[in-house]
Structure 1
Amino acid sequence: MLFRKGELFNGPGGLALGAKNVRVIDHNNNEYKIEHAWANDICEFACQTYTQNICPNKPDTVYHKPVQELEIENLPPIDAFAFGFPCNDYSLVGEHKGVDGDYGPLYSYGVKVLKHHQPKFFVAENVGGLQSANEGQTFIKILDELATAGKGYKITPHLYKFEQYGVPQTRHRIIIVGIRKDLNLEFKVPAPTTAEKYVTASEVIMHPPIPDDAPNHEFTKHNPRTVQMLDSIPEGKNAWYEGIPEELRLNVKGARMSQIYRRLDRNKPSYTVTGSGGGGTHVYHWEKSRALTNRERARLQTFPDDFVFEGKKEKVRQQVGMAVPPKAAEIIFESILKTFAKVDYPSVPSKWKYEDLVVQEEIPLNI
């Protein structure tokens, strides 16, 4: 069974690479797999990266334009749909604007795809902060619109802690899997694969060593003061470490983010890799007094070394940080295909049940 996949907000292709890598064989020796049909993103370089790595022979199926300008009704038919709708207004680090922000309403274009194309399943991704936006009402509103789109979907929202799925990074994301109700299938959250022993940052960055001429492996040029400060920060500590000489400390008033100039702990997963931010937010080596290269960050995101990101250094950083780790995406898509193939797999209860959330909401949603 071949599932033709459409995707909005495709980024560099983390979800797409995970889907592309999956093959499931059922008890009758039938093969289940996912094939790219079309994708869209507003970022030109993300579209170039996606095209070169996911569908190099079909460049005209990746649409570089604002989603508002995409003619959803005229896109080719699909059986599967993926969208990591922009998280800026739901992030705990942002301004918490929710659906009132510039990015908050963009999930509705995913709902439009579901209504028109009625794919057999979908995968939606967002930051953990989505659950608390607007005192939780935004989360319920989005779940409700996804569940009732088109023919209706049986949805399974869950907070995935990616370090428990082989990703060397403490990256926690809400993934919503929906399967069309008329198919009468029940998706179960795949059980963690590395809950007992996490993959560490040093394991993936050092083994095997990254060749000097690897793509996207440019080093950051730090000023001497920054290098001196990093020299005085032990691994696992950050810019607020008390052992930093007084003259090298940052003069910051108010909240102090824990990730500023924070060095990795070689024996633990990395902290969350981000796609933007000023000085001190680039993720720092546990031993060498420098920021990680984009290639090293890509390894923390589980992209293979032959996955080449297009654009200049900062654009590449943005793409790496916005992506869904392909390793985690692969596990989720494999579980979906196993659901269709009726192949059992280890599972755990989902963090939320949509039906329970709706029951708890006693007053009409006012958003």
Structure 2
Amino acid sequence: MNKNHLKFIDKINTTKFKKLKVKMKSEIKIGTDCSGIEAPIQALELLNIPYKHIFSCDNDKHVIKNIEGNYKPEILYDDIFNRDYDNMPYVDGYIAGFPCQNFSTLGKMKGFEEKNGTIFFCCYKTIKVIEPKFFILENVKALVTHNKGKTFESILHELHKLEKYNIYWKVFNTCEYGVPQKRERVYIIGIKKEYDKNFVYPKPIKLEVFVNDIITTDPVDNKFGYLTEHKSKLLNELVDNNKIDNLDKHWSVNLNVSHQKMCYPKLDICPCLLAGNGGDCIFYLTSIKRRYTPREYLNLQGFSLEFKQCVSNSKMYKQVGNSMSVNVLCFIYKSIFESLYYN
């Protein structure tokens, strides 16, 4: 099996960070919401950080199959809205990739205490009740500019009102942290002031792994190479219009569209993986003349080879497209742990 997509770990495991991990003798208690395929847990495992998986939460039965097949949370919630918040267990770290719902009316409200219908409110309430040492919230880049920036300002305002946390945020691009996928997501990081010694954003690294490096070495079914007449026509039009110079090069392209102008090919890196309906949004790699497999999609999100696919291919594609990037979380974790544990 190909491990090239995990080379970013070498950039994290510096001598200094290895010494820090020795100090982290007790297990970190972790809880996640909108858990998906648990990129936050994957990142801890890749970093070899001792942890205790306290809870996960997801309402998709297909996601739950993958959670149960790969992880062992002590509690698995299936309803974020109707759980007993007052008796939720403590965690040191809380991570949630809350969906980008319609926040257009948020700025008119007095606060999230009145916004019971949004998942962000549930994440906010969880932080308020549990008071973890740190939290990470992830969303699409567009959240930053939604409603002329008012939505994001309101979210930050509510988090600052907690008063106990230093709040940081930044847009991270997956391909700037060692994995060849252009995926921009905003991460909001909160660290309790009493523990935050000196948080520093992780610096981007030079990309040394490209899409041809993450391709599986396992046999691949011929069905992944099948193209309809329309998709073959799109490829030819991309060449004719100089959007792709050579099909033997490593061009990742979306052929699940009506017109070649919507294909947005990328050379040597993959465009942002999409969730869609799963099987209808898979990128095609010209150099190998086929679509990426679910395992290769997992590679493009930084998942370990130990992850087991417990659902159909279409469900797997969708879940990977909805996931956080494991490599980005690894770098964020490193910065958080350096702030928490260095004297």
TM-score for both structures, normalised by structure 2 = 0.77
What code does the residue aligned with 2:42 have? L
* 1:49 partner letter: N
What residue is the counterpart of 1:202 in the other structure? 212
Q: 2:54 aligns with which of 27, 34, 37?
A: 37
Alignment RMSD, CA only?
Answer: 3.3
Q: 2:173 aligns with which of 129, 137, 161?
A: 161
Three-state SS of the structure 1 residue aligned to 2:89 is coil
Please identify, of 43-52 and 111-120, the stretch whose mean Cα deviation from structure 2 is larger: 43-52
Report SS of the residue matched to 1:146.
helix
8 A Cα contact 1:17 1:54, kept in partner: no
Superposed, which structure 2 residues align to 1:57-206 within 5 Å? 58=73, 61-63=75-77, 65-87=78-100, 89=101, 97-99=102-104, 105-149=118-162, 152-194=164-206, 197-205=207-215
Change (3 A) 1:232 1:37: same
Between stretches 14-23 and 157-166, larger displacement belongs to 14-23
CA distance in structure 2 between the aligned counterparts of 1:179 and 1:323, rounded to whole angstroms: 23
Task: Say how many residue pairs are matched.
Answer: 301
Query: What is the alpha-carbon distance in structure 2 between the residues aligned to residue 211 and residue 171 of structure 1?
Result: 26
Q: Distance in 2 between matches of 1:146 and 1:282?
A: 36
What SS is found at the alignment partner of 2:180? coil
* Matching residue of 1:211: 218
Q: Is 1:225 the counterpart of 2:239 in the alignment?
A: no
Match of residue 361 from structure 1: none
* Structure 1 residue 18, shift from structure 2 partner: 0.7
| 2:337 pairs with 1:337 | yes
Q: Where does residue 321 of structure 2 map in the other structure? A: 321
How far apart are 1:121 and its partner, in Å?
Answer: 0.5
Secondary structure of 1:186's aligned partner:
coil
Contact 1:219 1:293 (8 Å CA) reproduced: no
Distance 1:117 1:218, change over 3 A: farther
Matches within 5 A, 1:352-367: none
Provide closer, same or farther for how the CA distance between residues 318 and 160 of structure 1 changes in structure 2, counting only shifts above 3 A.
same
Instruction: Note if contact 1:164-1:198 (Cα within 8 Å) is conserved in structure 2.
Output: no
Cα deviations by residue, 1:184-211 (Å, 9 ceiling, x for unpaired): 43311011122xx442111112xxx431
Pick the aligned partner of 1:257 from 259, 262, 283: 262
Aligned to 2:22: none
Q: Residue 13 of structure 1 contacts residue 49 of structure 1 at CA under 8 Å; is this kept in 2?
A: no
Task: Give, as a single letter, the amino acid of the residue that structure 1 aligns with 2:183.
Answer: R
Letter in 2 for 1:45: H
Q: Kindly provide the amino acid, as one letter, of the partner of residue 195 in structure 2.
A: L
Question: How far off is 1:122 after superposition?
Answer: 0.5
Kept in 2, the 8 Å contact 1:153–1:178? The answer is yes
Residue equivalent to 1:47: 64
Q: Partner amino acid for 2:137?
A: A
Give the C-alpha shift of residue 66 in structure 1: 2.8
Distance 1:127 1:249 in 2: 22
CA distance in 1, matches of 2:88, 2:256: 54
Residue 141 of structure 2 contacts residue 184 of structure 2 at CA under 8 Å; is this kept in 1? yes
Alpha-carbon distance in structure 2 between the residues aligned to 1:229 and 1:104: 45
Q: Which amino acid aligns with 1:3?
A: I
Code of the residue aligned with 2:212 in structure 1: it is S
Which residue in 1 is equivalent to 2:300? Answer: 300
Question: How many percent of aligned residue pairs carry the same amino acid?
Answer: 24
Read off the aligned partner of 2:219 and give its amino acid letter: D
Q: 1:124 to 1:180 in 2, by over 3 A?
A: same
Query: 2: distance between equivalents of 1:304 and 1:169?
Result: 16
Q: In the alignment, what sits opposite 2:34?
A: 9
User: Which residue number in structure 1 is paired with residue 110 of structure 2?
Assistant: none
| Corresponding residue number in structure 2 for 1:362 | none
2:75 & 2:311 partners in 1: Cα distance? 20
SS of equivalent residue, structure 2 residue 262: coil
TM-score, scaled relative to structure 1? 0.72
Task: Give structure 1 regions of 4+ aligned residues with deviation exceeding 6 angstroms.
Answer: 101-104, 240-243
Match of 1:352 in 2: none
Structure 1 unaligned spans of 5+:
24-31, 90-96, 344-367
The equivalent residue for 2:6 is none
Gaps of 5+ in 2: 1-25, 107-114, 247-254
1:149-198 CA-to-partner distances (Å, cap 9, x unmatched) read 3x52101101112211101111111111111123343311011122xx44
Instruction: Give the superposition deviation at 1:53.
Output: 2.0
Separation in structure 1 between the aligned mates of residue 219 and residue 116 of structure 2, nearest angstrom: 38
> In 2, Cα distance between the equivalents of 1:76 and 1:126?
25
